[in-house]
Amino acid sequence: MKQNEFKKRRATLMKQIGKGNIAIIASASHRTRNRDVLYPYRQDSDFYYLTGFNESESLAVFIPGREKGEYVLFCREYDEKKALWEGAHAGLEGATEHYAADDSFPITDLDDILPGMLENKGKVFYPMGKDSELDHKLMEWINNIRKQSRTGVSAPGELVSLEHIVHEMRLFKSTEELKLMRRAATVSAQAHCRAMQSCKPGLFEYQIEAELTHEFMQQGLRAVAYPSIVAAGKNACVLHYTENKDKLGKGDLLLIDAGVECEHYAADITRTFPISGVFSEPQKKLYQLVLDAQYAALEQVKPGIAWHIAHEASVQVLTAGLVKLGLLKGKVSKLIKEEKYKQFYMHRIGHWLGMDVHDVGEYKIKDEWRLLEPGMVLTVEPGLYIPANCESVDKMWRGIGIRIEDDVLVTANGHEVLTAAVPKTIADIEALMRGA
């Protein structure tokens, strides 16, 4: 992503903060996995969105109208020894030269410098309650300013959620963001195809996960957007199954929910396919029903349609289909009203997608479901999960879990499916798995 994009975002933010106010946001911290081993570092999405700066121990300050520069970055000073052990870091000069900060200071001087920046400001925008250390420090800084009120300085009087502004910005994807999302989608789609092609009975779920990881990394993308779910047979009925340890049974389906990140932008794809390459009759019937529900939901993804309509479309199709196949009994409208479908379809149709897989942005505005607008990206992912011990349905349906998930951009006239490159019709899946 070019620096210019981050500059544009900061300019938009500055306008919304307004002169006389200040915004503060901290980087993510490193987290220990065990003793000296750290989890892979992932920058805080909001922080990265505004700075493009990928280091921990940093803090960005935005002060509209500040004479010596509106954008201030606190970060680690360059340290040759540290660079030898931990790799390159920008240092104070790098922060201004390469990351376009107007001014930079050592993070170790934060307590000395930041209180001065807060003096005489009206509002402080910051991520309230997200980082207890920052919450605590801010209160300390503000209290210290209060103590000096006799010298004529005043402490900020209002704390405001920064997320409210930044998340609304993040909900609408720019052309530059969409380039990265398309790449994440393309590579994830290729990984799903590879998984389908390498699948055969007797392999283990983790071996299919290895195929996904192989494709992600061969394509130059190292971070998954979330732990890959590779769930064979009844494991697919566990929505967040990530153990990926079981053997692939011949007659079962395999559900894969996996997506990679490209420069902090996620893809999120689910496909469900027969381990042997050919759907059985009951699998076919349930699969086609989920696919029809997805098509019905996708039809409702266009500007001006409220967010929940796609969900309702999927509920309608799934409930009617479950009645037709005999898994539910009764009148469709009554079953929907009484939410009887929820025993088999217990999640919603999808979520916003962006830097976070379950991305930020309000779903309701003033208690009303929000209308879709061009530039929003969401997932459309209906599913059916028939528990293995579900005695109310015929045996042939039990232990089947199916989800079909695509990433969808709302366009001016409708929508574009970013992940269409992975087959999802029964014929196309079987053809790919046959090597046709």
Point out which span in 202-210, 265-273, 280-288, 422-430 binds Mn ion (CB under 5 A).
265-273
Q: Is 206 a catalytic residue?
A: no
Q: Does 226 participate in binding ligand GLY (rule CB under 6 A)?
A: yes
DSSP-derived secondary structure for 199-218: --TT-BHHHHHHHHHHHHHH
Could you tell me which of 352, 356, 361 has the C-alpha nearest to residue 409?
Answer: 352
Specify the residue, 240 or 395, whose C-beta has the smaller distance to Mn ion.
240
- Active-site choice (70, 252, 261, 405): 405
* Residue 104 interacts with, from ligand GLY, Mn ion, none (CB under 5-8 Å by kind): none
Residue 257 binds Mn ion, judged by CB under 5 A: yes
**Backbone phi, psi, residue 310, to 5°:** -60, -40
| Token pair 């922060």 in the structure block, residue | 95
**Structure tokens given for 364:** 């309701």
257 touches ligand GLY by CB under 6 A: yes
| Contacts of residue 197, Cβ cutoff 8 Å, sequence gap at least 6 | 432, 433, 435
379 binds Mn ion (CB under 5 A): yes
- Report the b/e string of 261-280 with b at 16+ CB within 10 A: bbbbbbbbbbbbbbbbbebe
Q: State yes or no: residue 268 binds ligand GLY (CB under 6 A).
A: yes
Q: How far is the CB of 248 from ligand GLY (least distance, A)?
A: 20
**Residue 210 interacts with ligand GLY (CB under 6 A)?**
no
Q: How far is the CB of 262 from Mn ion (least distance, A)?
A: 16
User: What are the tokens at 170?
Assistant: 């993040």
Catalytic, 164? Answer no
Rounded to an integer, what distance in angstroms lies between the CA atom of residue 324 and that of residue 400?
A: 17
> What does 211 bind: Mn ion, ligand GLY, none (CB cut-off 5 to 8 Å by kind)?
none
Residue choice 238, 357, 396, 432 for contact with ligand GLY (CB under 6 A): 357
Give dist(CA 332, CA 336) in Å, integer. Answer: 6
The single residue of 126, 287, 345, 385 carrying the catalytic annotation is 385
Q: Is 126 a catalytic residue?
A: no
* 394-428: burial string, b at 16+ Cβ within 10 Å, e else: eeebbbbbbbbbbbbbbeeeebebbbeebbbebee
- Residue 356 interacting with Mn ion (CB under 5 A): no
Has 36 been annotated as catalytic? yes
Residue 176 corresponds to which amino acid?
E
Distance of alpha carbon 272 from alpha carbon 430, whole angstroms = 11
Instruction: Say if CB 258 and CB 284 are below 8 A apart.
Output: no
Asked if residue 263 binds Mn ion (CB under 5 A), the reply is: no
* 150 annotated active-site: no
Q: Which tokens is 162 given?
A: 């920064």
Binding to Mn ion by residue 268, rule CB under 5 A?
yes
What is the nearest approach in angstroms of ligand GLY to the Cβ of residue 212? Answer: 13
Exactly one of 42, 194, 308, 347 is catalytic; name it.
347
Closest CB 226 distance from ligand GLY, rounded Å = 5
Q: Minimum distance between the CB of residue 281 and ligand GLY, rounded to whole angstroms?
A: 28
* Catalytically annotated residues: 36, 240, 257, 268, 347, 351, 358, 381, 385, 403, 405
